[in-house]
């Protein structure tokens, strides 16, 4: 599935999902288009080799976020959140990617213990953001989930740069089991804000 953000997503606001053309879904705030979603075509299987749990823990010491920066209240990576996912991707020693361990909480799972897809998407977002050459805001996200993600077990999320075109930054991210099995992957388009 591929989601394109068309406007800032309003918080604490009831939004409407409406069908669009050709299997597309539209997210609306009243009449205003906030995002649209459509089936994504296959993207290249360019996922790098898994990062071990120890290396992922070590990488979090190089996390670029801070307690008062633009991402400090992020649900996934914010250092000011006690109720978030605590994904703090930092550079992996000797590799051109970022990584973080992640243990999904039980409240993020369905009745079968599998992490709900929206939370898998969330966990893949920040590693892509911090892997890009410049920090940007998410504009488009394509995600594939290959296997269930088990709540309560430690996993590793990684992100890597895929290139840039001026203010447009491209990055990938992936979610692995602690043993290195690929569970999900994503491609992100990020836009660097004008200064």
C-alpha angle 133-129-89 in degrees, rounded to nearest 5: 100
Query: What residues does CATH 3.10.129.10 cover in the chain?
Result: 46-191
Over residues 43-91, the pLDDT tens digits come to 666 899 999 999 999 999 999 888 887 788 999 999 999 999 999 999 9
Torsion from C-alpha of 94, 103, 163, 5, nearest 10 degrees: -170
- What percent of the chain has pLDDT above 70? 98
pLDDT band at 148 (very low <50, low <70, confident <90, very high): very high
* Cα(78)–Cα(188) distance, integer angstroms: 19
What's the CATH number for 46-191?
3.10.129.10
């Amino acid at each position: 599935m591929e989601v394109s953000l068309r406007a800032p997503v309003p918080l604490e606001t009831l939004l409407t999902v409406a069908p669009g053309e050709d299997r597309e879904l539209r997210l609306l705030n009243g009449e205003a288009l906030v995002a649209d979603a459509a089936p994504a075509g296959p993207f290249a299987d360019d996922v790098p080799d898994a990062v071990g749990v120890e290396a992922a823990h070590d990488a979090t010491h190089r996390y670029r976020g801070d307690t008062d920066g633009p991402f400090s209240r992020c649900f996934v990576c914010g250092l000011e959140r006690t109720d978030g996912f605590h994904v703090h991707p930092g550079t992996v020693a000797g590799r051109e990617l970022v990584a973080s361990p992640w243990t999904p909480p039980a409240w993020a799972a369905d009745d079968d213990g599998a992490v709900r897809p929206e939370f898998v998407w969330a966990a893949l977002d920040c590693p892509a953001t911090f892997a890009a050459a410049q920090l940007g805001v998410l504009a488009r996200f394509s995600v594939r989930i290959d296997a269930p993600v088990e709540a309560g077990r430690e996993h590793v999320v990684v992100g890597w740069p895929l290139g840039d075109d001026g203010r447009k930054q491209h990055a990938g991210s992936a979610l692995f089991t602690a043993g290195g099995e690929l569970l999900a992957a994503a491609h992100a388009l990020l836009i660097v804000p004008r200064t």
